[in-house]
Structure 1
Amino acid sequence: MKKFSWLLLAALLTILLAACSEETSTSDQKAEEAPKKESEPEQKEEPDPPYQALEPSEDAVPLKESLSEEELKNMPEQQLALGGEPERAVPAGETLAKDMEDQTTGPLKDHRLVAYYGTPQSENMGILGTMEPEEFMKQLKEQAQAYSDADPKRPAVPTIELITTMAHRVPGPDGNYVTKLSDEKIEEYVKLAEKHDAIVLLDIQLGTDTVMNQVKSIEKWLKHPNVHLAIDTEFQVDEGEVPGEDLGQVDGQEVQEAVEYVSKLTEENDLPDKFVLVHQFTEHVLTNKDAIQPTDNVEVALNFDGWGSSTDKMALYKKYVRDKPSQYGGFKVFYDKDEPVMTPEEVVKLDPSPAIVNYQ
């Protein structure tokens, strides 16, 4: 009888322990599952940008402190304090055009790009073709540093503006009056930019070809994180016309198609946000400008690239960029053709302050 009692007690203890173990296991499982249900979705971390801005020198003076009394009077906050309406469209040094927004994390948002323009195929198309790549980068960085010092709030990023398809006065192999830079040369300058933490801007000149044909021809390069797009509007001519002899023209809707194409490319390939630069030196070469709009991952800049007297250039920048604003403005400086060549301090005081400055 005593043996039976001990066996019964042992059986009861076994059942009790098993029940406790199952309850503990269930509680542990619920505890493991609960955080998963209650936790918020993980936030995607923004990757480091594929470029490096040049930090201002220690003795660099903030732009506002470098303004003259007359320039300070023209600033919106000062004019409003005096009871008047501001003449300037945006505060001094601001690159985003009036009433425009930037939803991207693109390079124009917090930086200024300083670009050297040209092609290794020609010494006459810009500074890029006049020197070896490493010396080219050395001088580009020196010029970019001058802009970081002129406006420390917006440090400059060295940028290579590489003419990828060049317009000619002869039909060329495809009959479209353009020739494409070799893949080997494009690769060389993309790697050069990567080595120096710089940006590459692939410039297309169109001839009798279309914007989208040219964009698609460089698509594999646009998939690189540090590569962006520039469109030279003056070189797109109609059949029977010749680039360089006849002034070309691009409709803004064609540009917008390229902007949206780059936007989709950026999204589908999980790339850092990009920008598209549109060149304009006179009214005729770019029509239907209102059609050109940025996207959530592509910034847009309109670049005034005329040459001549600095007074005329400032007036035309106002006419084409300030008075008919795109999201951002750009400004080209010609070392050999401008009279005089504007200093970085003068350029950054333009209204709006150019988000990209390119040199030819």
Structure 2
Amino acid sequence: MSTPEANIPARENFQQTIDGKRTDLFVLKNKNNLQAAITNYGGRLVGLWVPDKNGKLVDVVIGHDNVQTFAEGEDSYYGATVGRYANRIANGKFTLEGQGYRLATNNAPNHLHGGDKGFSRVVWEADQLSEQTLRLRYVSQGMEEGYPGGLTVMVVYTLTDNNELTIEYAATTDKTTVVNLTNHAYFNLNGEGSGSILNHVLQIKADQFTPIDATSIPTGELAPVAGTPFDFTQPTAIGERIEQEHEQLQHGQGYDHNFVLAEEPRQELAFAASALGDQSGILMEVFTQEPGVQLYTGNFMRGERTLKSGAKDARRTAFCLETQLFPDSPNKPHFPSAVLRTGETYKTATVYKFSVQK
């Protein structure tokens, strides 16, 4: 039986100079022929090829086939490493050790995913350590995007022989700051360009979520999911309740909410969520040390950009499970803390594990 081929974009499409630094495409591969393509522009996962129930390789992460389209998509976080603070900070303001800081309100009236540029639009130093591991490094200067402290960040992608994509994050600072890093992969487990994700079956191990106001900032409440469209404690199709008349669904124009996995970050990886592609039979399980996971159902995808497959990025043709601290934690003292001090190391990991259900 021949080995299925992954339709990986041409490397030269990613070899450019942006902000005086060279961009490139790096391919990881494990012994089972799982393959991942990553660019050091924004630390982005460009594609991820996983065998389906028939043994065919399916690209389960949406993205573009060249670096230029990523660079031109100002509001596109496809596959990106997001920071310094993933998700939203209310009104682009927070106070730390008695001093106020102002950030860009690039998702008016709030700050989103690190600001006007953030980590998703910089060129990372890249070092491919082996066929299965890529290490990325970025030094964020003090007051970059308005954040205090020079931050040295390391992100390591590993494709294990257990069919896991592991993402490990580490950061240190020279002044007290806030940090919340995540990966913003958009998944379609039936394959990029295969259509709606509403029939994917989702489970999230969360009894609570953080309700939001009309600008998508958490109210501060931890609300039970029971009896609401946010109850994914049992496997449920993403689209089963997405159109229900519920104020929270109206605020997010669908699901765009943080689910509470734990009260604080954990020492060990723990199961957070799973999703099953209804056509491919591909099961993705998510394990994390983070206390929250943001479910986003592609409500603001507009069909304006062409993906690797040639399809457009139409509304709700991909979903995200972004492991994270809670949104607006710097302004919510009762949320898990995002504060990082000198002498401390921010360290967290998330694993996406793939298998098939026939």
For normalisation by structure 2, the TM-score amounts to 0.29
Q: Which structure has the bigger radius of gyration? A: 1
For normalisation by structure 1, the TM-score amounts to 0.29
Q: When you count strand as a share of all residues, which structure comes out higher?
A: 2
Q: When you count helix as a share of all residues, which structure comes out higher?
A: 1
